[in-house]
Amino acid sequence: QSALTQPASVSGSPGQSITISCTGTSSDIGGYNYVSWYQQHPGKAPKLMIYEVSNRPSGLSNRFSGSKSGNTASLTISGLQAEDEADYYCSSYTSSITLVFGGGTKLTVL
């Protein structure tokens, strides 16, 4: 049950776009369209941002979008805002019939 691989940190200026990658294997990301993304502010519970690779929960800003190619999923945030500064985690269903998370990416808005 190895964790999915995410960059430790990414940064961008307000108004810019950034992309966070999440790399797995054919047993998780590559094998299923069950990739989700979570945002976590310090001291808070995670919040669902994207599910089933590219779907946004009702009411979530369309500045957040998801995609997948092969064994790698991506989260793109456009029009960066100060409140987007947080930790972001990807997760995927796995053939082990469990859920696996990425190690997390700290987004800094410069």
Partner 1 sequence: EVQVVESGGGLVQPGGSLRLSCGGSGFTFSDYNMNWVRQAPGKGLEWVSYISSGSRTMYYADSVKGRFTISRDNAKNSLYLQMNSLRAEDSAVYYCARFGGSYHIDYWGQGTLVTVSS
Contacts with partner 1, residue ranges (CB under 8 A): 1, 3, 32, 34, 36, 38, 40, 45-48, 51-52, 57, 89, 91-93, 97-104
Query: Is 52:32 a contact under the CB 8 Å cutoff?
Result: no
CB distance 70 to 23 below 8 Å? no
Q: Rounded to the nearest whole angstrom, what is the least distance from the CB of residue 34 to partner 1 in the complex?
A: 4
Minimum distance, C-beta of residue 94 to partner 1, in the bound complex (Å):
9
What totals of helices (H) and strands (E) does the chain contain, helices first?
0, 9
**Residue for token pair 């690779």:** 53
* Residue among 82 and 104 whose Cβ is closer to partner 1: 104
